[in-house]
Structure 1
Amino acid sequence: MEQSQKKAPEPYAKQPSQIIYYGVPGCGKSHAVDEEINKAINEYNEGKTDGDKISYEDQVKRIVFHPDYGNADFIGQIMPKIRERGGVDYVFKPGPFSQILRKAYLNSSKPYFLVIEEINRGNAAAIFGEMFQLLDRIKDNKKDKNGYGPGWSSYSILNDDVNDYIRDIKAYEKSDHSGCVKPNHPKDMLDGNGNPVDSPDANGKKEIDFSTATSYCSLELILRGFDSPQIFRESTAIRLPPNLSIYATMNTSDQNVFTLDNAFQRRWEMKQIPNDWKNTGDSAAQYCRTIKKVKKTESGEESVDTNVQWGDFRKAINEVIMDSAQANGLSSMEDKRLGGWFYTESDNFAEKVLKYLWDDAFKFDRKTQFGEIKTLEDLVKEFNKVGFKVFKADAISKLQRDSLTTPDTPAQNDTSVTNG
């Protein structure tokens, strides 16, 4: 069944990004990623009608790496599928990488984004597998011998499963394909010479039975850098296209995570998110959030304001963390500081922030910071009883007046408040 020719839009012109954002917990890494993506989407939508505009949901695939996440989850894998009339087929189930790659190939005029949260919580090299090689991109307005220019992967990978998925008939019918000029006959309907094997019907017309076909023989795609449609065949190697950007985030302070080796990191642009309020969205409101403690009552528990603001505490405790590191000869404590969004309104301060300080930031300095308190359980109980007097550092304890230390009498914040 011949498909009519259609004019495809010009390929997306901007260069792709490939960035890992890193910084302390809660400093605004995901916020920075979303800002970049929303900026690109808004620029694309400018001047377009509602029908031609794109949305975050359609252009972004967001995933999280973790220790049990593997290459099959990321790229895809062959899975059994039971037929309606009995029997089993083995079909390729695409992972998020293959899904967003396919969209980018078939819609070359639009930007697409793969976001990997916590990239160092999984074994990134193993998860990417051979696709690791695709992270090298062509730069400086150069073209390789095959005609691929800036933004394309410098190298290619032969992967039959991903290639076949890009040409998948059912996936093609379900999704947008504005950059595909023409799909050619299904590969299942060709003879050994590449000719269609469908037979004429009673009226002499040839019809192809798409219900049993799996993939097109080839696709004619409008790809950036080429003067004419390119034929994407069964033998075409995979590359990252210029309209696909990849963003990742990582907490450098996380324990028990995988290390990103230099060979992996050099293929990315690395950007540190400073531990500043301006990176956390609604900075003024977040700064002024009042920390609460828990009061035991006959009917259960209730929250009591300490009148100490999160912004003041965060500023003071980060200074104490750095002083502790210097005093104990620890050189890697900078990333143990607290980001602006480490604590939010719905959090239990003692159970979240104090636990982090006890288990992580002050793991080797507990006696200096908390005196004779011997367990986290005792620390939480004491905080809910006397508030910030559990800290031995003057910079912390002075946030609360000496005379107001019980949960029945709110403490006062005697420090100046500055927004953002």
Structure 2
Amino acid sequence: MNPLLESKLNELNNASDYECWYLVKQPTAFDSICYLVSFLEDFKAQDTPGNLQDYIANKIESLKAVKPNVEISNNYRALRVAAFFGLIRMTNTKYENAIITDSFKEVTLRCNGEYEKTELYLDIIQRQIEKMYISSSIDEEYERVRQEYRLYPVMLLYKILIELGRSTGSYSISMAEYRYLVATTKTFEGFLDTLLLIKLFRDDPDAVTSFEQYRSKFDNRLIQALKQLSTLVVERDSISLNEDYIEEVAHKVYIFEDNPNVFTTENYLGFLGSTKSLFELEEFEEEEELTIYDDAIRVKGGVNTLLYGVPGSGKSWTIEKEYCDNENRMERLVFHPDYTYSDFIGQILPNVSDGIVSYKFTEGPFTSLLKKAYTHPDKMFFLVIEEINRGNAPAIFGEVFQLLDRDDDGTSEYGITNVDIANIVYGNPNKKIRIPSNMSIIGTMNTSDQNVFTLDTAFQRRWNMRMIENTFEGHAYATTTILDTDVTWERFCEVINNEIVTKNIRMTSSEDKRLGTYFVRASDLEYHEEADNLELSEKERIAAKLLNYRFAEKVLKYLWDDAFKFSREDIFKNTIYKSLEEVVNHFNSRSSAKAVGNARLDVFKDEVIDAFLTQEVSNNNVE
């Protein structure tokens, strides 16, 4: 066997089942599928909820009483074929939520709902099957088994038949050539390799036998769709071009080859459901693809929520555990004094291409997530703004501030005009901007930072305020001891926070200076004995020491420089340890005392140490 042919044989041997051009194992007759879509449309329009499968069964029974010769599948899952044909558009896994497309409406208008009269809309059947793309998100295996397949199969088949006809005089391939060589071609650009393999296949008398061993791996159901094309003649053992359509097919291939990868991205589904053909050279308007989302069933409940509490109380943890932990449905950003409207919404930036400078709007995180939420109505999306009061929030939001007023389902009550955002999100600069019901905005704010930027009343009233309680309830490392001492993290916080609240009365909002229960990580509390292991290398010992230093460098520094900046004598022996350096060095065994264990605590006043070592905790709340 020729090495190239043998290589193809090995490729098929290693391929997964159905790693080829594929259509779901359901009936594919266009008229039957149209009837199913009409039943779905009626089901969606009814007021009382019910079971789609039962509804379709009843509709089929009623139809057969009037039209006994009409053949329709009673399995509602055949609607997946309708999605492949562009008659419906799936918004999630439920057919009840699918969107009826303009293509189906055009069919209905042509035949007045008598879908068995296919002669009235043969051109639409032709157009929609030619627009089928393998593999798109309609295919449940498009990111797995068929992840390398990205082509319009009918166009590749047309190209193969045209080229063979021109070179041999016969515009035909055998069914074996179709199954093993053509229907396993992954991209349109691979047609030359496929043509060569067909020639080698025909020259080898034993090739058919060798390839037939893989017959069960490669589904041939797409043939049932191809049989409905007037341009093809599909017989038991061959596929040929209809002689009456050879010139038309050649012209289609000529047009298509100008842009063989047209609509291979996310706007394909809108194009598939539209009334445009693959051969209309004018660009498919993106707004036609996007406006379909206005009619989609959308997740409700979008809110604006502002989480506030002391630093380390677990605001970010709460977002991950209670709101969203999927990075694909989240945009996370941090406000700061230099953060601007342009950073948040987007800005016009120069773009250099082929030496020519142009300017285009580049979206910011708000606009980017707004489009994701609009085009994925079945999922909730989250814009997370950390440290919202560290930036000038009203100025950063700008006119988008108006969108924070929401109605009962979570959609913005009032729309605003913004050409740049509308172009990105809707593909229509004239459309009013609204936050959809499936997009929530979650902000976080440290109460100790209230003096950075004040959130005015008008801004705050548009948010649901939620205080994150500074509690150890359910805390993963509350009972973890600090380094090699006997003091748990929970007890340390309780004692220090009690000192802050009861003694630091000279400070405004002293409670905001409390230690949050998540002020440190569990790893900051861990003691690394390797620091004193002389059997280890100096580099390893230093690395361990640096890990042991983290608690003091973070917590004691905060207490000295911030929480007790004006009253250090309340907790520290500041007549003995007169600087932060002396405090940290003693705690970290870097002073002459070489303190270990509870001796590290000597930097604190005796009554504070006594409180640390009294392991009675009254409740889970940290005062």
Q: TM-score range by the shorter chain?
A: 0.5 to 0.7
Deviation of the 1:25 alpha carbon = 1.2
Of the candidates 387, 391, 396, which is equivalent to residue 127 of structure 1?
396
Q: Contact conserved, 2:335 with 2:391, CA < 8 A, in 1?
A: yes
User: 1:331, CA displacement in angstroms?
Assistant: 4.4
Larger Rg: 2
- Describe how 1:144-223 pairs up with structure 2 within 5 A: 150-167=409-426, 216=427
Three-state SS of the structure 1 residue aligned to 2:435 is coil
Greater helix fraction, Structure 1 or Structure 2 = 2
Match of 1:308 in 2: 487
Instruction: Show the counterpart of 2:302.
Output: 16
The answer to whether the aligner puts 1:241 opposite 2:436 as a matched pair is yes
**Per-residue deviation at 1:15?**
1.6
1:339 aligns with 2:516: yes
Contact 1:308 1:399 (8 Å CA) reproduced: no
| Cα distance in 2, alignment partners of residues 399 and 153 from structure 1 | 52
Q: Percent identity?
A: 49
* C-alpha distance in 2 between matches for 1:387 and 1:321: 21
Q: 1:10 to 1:160 in 2, by over 3 A?
A: closer
Equivalent position of 2:497 in the other structure: 318
Q: Residue 562 of structure 2 corresponds to which residue in structure 1?
A: 360
Residues of 1 paired with 2:584 and 2:614: CA distance? 23
Report if aligned partners of 1:288, 1:419 keep a CA contact under 8 Å in 2: no
- The answer as to 2:389 corresponding to 1:389 is no
Describe the shift of the 1:345–1:13 C-alpha distance in structure 2 as closer, same or farther (beyond 3 A): closer
Are 1:288 and 1:417, in contact at CA under 8 Å, matched by a contact in 2?
no
Q: 1:178 — aligned with what?
A: none
CA contact (8 A) 1:388 1:399 kept: no
Quick check: 2:389–2:450 contact (8 Å CA) kept in 1? no
Could you say which structure has the greater relative contact order, defined with CA pairs below 8 angstroms and 6 or more residues apart?
A: 1
Kept in 2: contact 1:11–1:109 (CA 8 A): yes
Counterpart secondary structure, 2:482: strand
Count matched residues: 298
CA distance in 1, matches of 2:395, 2:508: 30
Structure-1 separation of matches of 2:362 and 2:338: 18
Partner of 2:271: 3
Structure 1 runs not aligned, ≥5 long: 39-54, 140-149, 168-215, 217-232, 293-304, 401-412
Q: Which residue type is aligned with residue 415 of structure 1?
A: Q
In the alignment, does 2:551 pair up with 1:376? Answer: no
**Cα displacement string for residues 249-295 of structure 1 (whole angstroms, at most 9, x for unaligned residues):** 111113762221111111100000111113xx6x1x41122212xxx
Partner in structure 2 of residue 72 of structure 1: 342
**SS of structure 1 residue aligned to 2:350:** strand
Instruction: Could you tell me which runs of 5 or more consecutive residues in structure 2 were left unpaired when the two chains were aligned.
Output: 1-262, 264-269, 275-291, 525-549, 589-594
More strand by share: 1
Residue matched to 1:287: 478
Q: Hey, what's the Cα distance between the residues in 1 that align with 2:410 and 2:355?
A: 46
Deviations 1:162-213 (A, max 9, x none): 111124xxxxxxxxxxxxxxxxxxxxxxxxxxxxxxxxxxxxxxxxxxxxxx
Q: Does 2:544 align with 1:349?
A: no
Instruction: Work out the CA distance in 2 between the residues paired with 1:312 and 1:288.
Output: 8
Alignment RMSD: 2.5
Taking the aligned partners of 1:381 and 1:111, their CA distance within structure 2 comes to 49
CA distance 1:419–1:365, shift in 2 (3 Å): closer
Question: TM-score by structure 2 length?
Answer: 0.45
Distance 2:369 2:498 in 1: 43
Structure 2: distance between partners of 1:356 and 1:4: 60
Aligned partners of 1:392 and 1:59: how far apart in 2? 49
Question: Is the contact made by 1:11 and 1:110 (CA closer than 8 Å) also made in structure 2?
Answer: no
For residues 335 and 393 of structure 1, what CA distance do their matches in structure 2 show? 25
User: How far did residue 11 of structure 1 move?
Assistant: 2.1
- SS where residue 466 of structure 2 aligns? strand
